Chains A and B, each alone.
Chain A
């Protein structure tokens, strides 16, 4: 994932080259903000991004370039966001992996066959789903209610097209945990839409 000329960029950053700083901020800050907002919410996203730049400055001399500059910056940002959430104990669980059972697990019997089969969706295309405002709001609410690392893993994977390996690196979770985070987040999204379609009621699942 390393890009050409990164060693040079880092050397310039260490020499406090302003133009290089500007271009690095211009290029990476939107992604850092996206990540900070996804983990910790809009209200403190900007603060987290600024703190992340300071952490980055402190850590830069020790940066070994085993990952790309972008992945490293995003990892720092995710760490800032996570420690901020822990400090404010706004969120009991960042990962939501305490329970052995995830959403939809109870829909299968012990042999792994369907107990409660999926219902047929009346709104059967993305266009139909997003044309319904209440359902859109419901999906947003469902994402907000997910443990922060579940929704963030899902956004990075599905909206930003990061590989699972990069997501592990950025969020600092193991490969097996990232699988469970993504799996649970997808099933929560699925069940939220399914429940809305069959009852007209928003009950975020997760």
Chain B
């Protein structure tokens, strides 16, 4: 039987779907009988979702501008031989 502390340690993997089937089942069984852990896990889910909302997918999904490409190319040319 998992302890509440085990639930804390596994919660991230549970939410991202990274637990094995067996672990997932024991995790869910614990949540069925423990209201504190139930609250912790659902609030952690809200915390992580808030983080996602806040970031609004900043800059990493985009391509970089031609200006930046030129700048980097120039930098490489200027510094390669040193």
Nearest CB on A from B26, distance (A): 14
Q: List residues of chain A with CB within 8 A of the CB of B75.
A: 50, 53-54
Q: List residues of chain A with CB within 8 A of the CB of B39.
A: 117-118, 120
- Complex alpha-carbon distance, A30 and B79, angstroms: 21
Do A111 and B3 touch across chains, with their CB atoms under 8 A apart?
yes
The answer to whether residues A139 and B5 also contact, given A25-B64, A26-B69, A159-B55 and a CB cut-off of 8 A, is no
Do A34 and B58 touch across chains, with their CB atoms under 8 A apart?
yes
Do A130 and B53 touch across chains, with their CB atoms under 8 A apart?
yes
In this assembly, does A57 line the interface, its C-beta being within 8 Å of a C-beta of chain B? Answer: yes
Which interface residue of B9, B48, B51 has the most chain A CB atoms within 10 A? Answer: B51
Q: Which of A121-154 contact B (CB under 8 A)?
A: 121, 124-127, 129-130, 136, 139-140, 154
- Complex alpha-carbon distance, A49 and B48, angstroms: 28
Q: Mark A10-30, 1 if CB is under 8 A from B, else 0.
A: 000000001001100111011
Chain A contact residues: helix, strand, loop or mixed: helix
In this assembly, does A195 line the interface, its C-beta being within 8 Å of a C-beta of chain B? Answer: no
In this assembly, does B20 line the interface, its C-beta being within 8 Å of a C-beta of chain A? Answer: no
Interface residues on B, range: 35 or more
In this assembly, does A6 line the interface, its C-beta being within 8 Å of a C-beta of chain B? Answer: no
In this assembly, does B25 line the interface, its C-beta being within 8 Å of a C-beta of chain A? Answer: no
Which interface residue of A27, A29, A155 has the most chain B CB atoms within 10 A? Answer: A29
Q: Provide 18 A-B residue pairs closer than 8 Å at the C-beta atoms, listed in order of the A residue.
A: A18-B73, A25-B68, A29-B64, A30-B61, A30-B64, A112-B4, A118-B36, A118-B43, A124-B46, A126-B50, A129-B50, A155-B55, A159-B51, A159-B58, A160-B60, A183-B12, A189-B47, A190-B40
Interface residues, chain B, with chain A CB atoms under 8 Å away: 3-6, 8-9, 11-12, 16, 18, 36-37, 39-40, 43-44, 46-55, 57-64, 68-69, 72-73, 75-76, 79-80
